[in-house]
Amino acid sequence: MSSKSVLSQLSGWLYKLFKPVQPDALVVKQPILSQQAINQLGESLSQMVPKATLNPKASESLKQGEQGSRFLGSGMEYEESRLYQPGDEVRRINWRLMARTGQAYTKLFQEERQESWTLLVDQRQSMRFGTQQRLKVTQAVRVAGYYAWQAQTAGLPIDAIRLSENVKSTPIFEGRSSFEQLMEFLSIPQPPMTVQKEPRLHDELLECQKRLQVGSRLIIISDFQDLDDATLNVMAALQQKVMLKAVLVYDAVEKHLPAISGLKLKGLSGRTQAHSLTHQDYQAYETWAQQYFETLRQKLSNVGVTLIEISTQDDLLKLHNQPGSAQTAGAA
């Protein structure tokens, strides 16, 4: 078998076909993180996680001429009406008050005084893979816990979206129990997927674009296996509205194949194949992997998204020891 043929099979295996050996029925019913594991993670994070930094995104509304508001966005809660002034938006005219008084009034809204965080956590099939310490989906939940603990400590409202067989989201949590509630939501058991068509990251980002308020913070935790041009375009648009961060979760074998003889690959079909890889095969695969991840970094950078990378074996400390992480996680 040629080196090119083996490389093609391996790349397809890693990103489309491979899954861990099928666990027994008992295992798939277990949560990703048990209650004990959640408690232990919280104790560890309390000693490690830095204080969250406030979103520096300025308000788009204006106060006193050209002075920008220190709040976020234009707000949604009605505050009062005042006489219409040249330059006011027509869509904010209080038509009922105008009908009663015969004068034009503009509605004023109270501005958002506190940012909110949203965690978008990928738990689709490609995330249910791992070779040593833990699965990618498990590390993704731990990463979400890192940010959830930070938001709880800062008293910030936070919610989560779970991208799995379908899309599920939480209400907005705030207060001392927000970390635990979020972790329980994200830790539900994840057996092998039964749906033929997974939800797309692109589609959920479009929903986020509609729903999230100006000045919010969106943290995407994924392996970005379906990142395409359309998804990048949505990310670019989101960047104009919210603070967007991307956390890439990967397994070490996705960058460096293990040097073992008789490497066995198992696809979704259940068929197992053994390959005797040559030194050239390993080199070819690593070259391909380097190009793949570098291209992913470059694509996100081109739309202004900083990528933070963490493997399934890494400690969560790595999240605030990478360039660009201080803006999301606070200073190290």
Q: Say yes or no: 150 and 227 in one domain.
A: yes
137 in the same domain as 51: yes
Task: Tell me which residue range forms the domain holding 88.
Answer: 76-110
Whether residues 30 and 87 fall in one domain: no
Residues 104 and 42 in one domain: no
Q: Is residue 64 in a domain? A: no
Do 80 and 194 lie in a common domain?
Answer: no
Q: 3-class SS at 196?
A: coil
Please compute, for residue 140, the number of CA atoms within 13 A of its CA located in the half-sphere on the CB side. Answer: 35
Burial of 274 (0-12, 13-18, 19+ CB in 10 A): exposed
Is 27 found in the same domain as 80?
A: no
Count how many domains the chain has. Answer: 2
Check whether residue 85 and residue 226 sit in a common domain: no
Question: Looking at the structure, do residues 164 and 194 belong to the same domain, yes or no?
Answer: yes
CATH number at residue 15: 3.40.50.410
Question: Does residue 238 belong to any structural domain of this protein?
Answer: yes
Residues forming a β-bridge with 80: 108
Domain match, 92 and 25 both? no
DSSP codes of every residue in 38-73: HHHHHHHHHHHPPPPPPP-PPPSSEETTTEEPSSEE
Task: Sort residue 273 into left (φ over 0), alpha (ψ -120 to 50) or beta.
Answer: beta
Q: Identify whether the C-beta of residue 222 lies closer than 8 Å to the C-beta of residue 248.
A: yes
Amino acid at 101: T
Same domain, 12 and 104: no
Do 185 and 170 fall into the same domain?
A: yes
Domain-embedded: residue 68: no
Asked whether residue 15 falls in the same domain as residue 126, the answer is: yes
Give pLDDT < 50 ranges for the chain: 1-8, 10-27, 58-76, 111-112, 267-268, 326-332
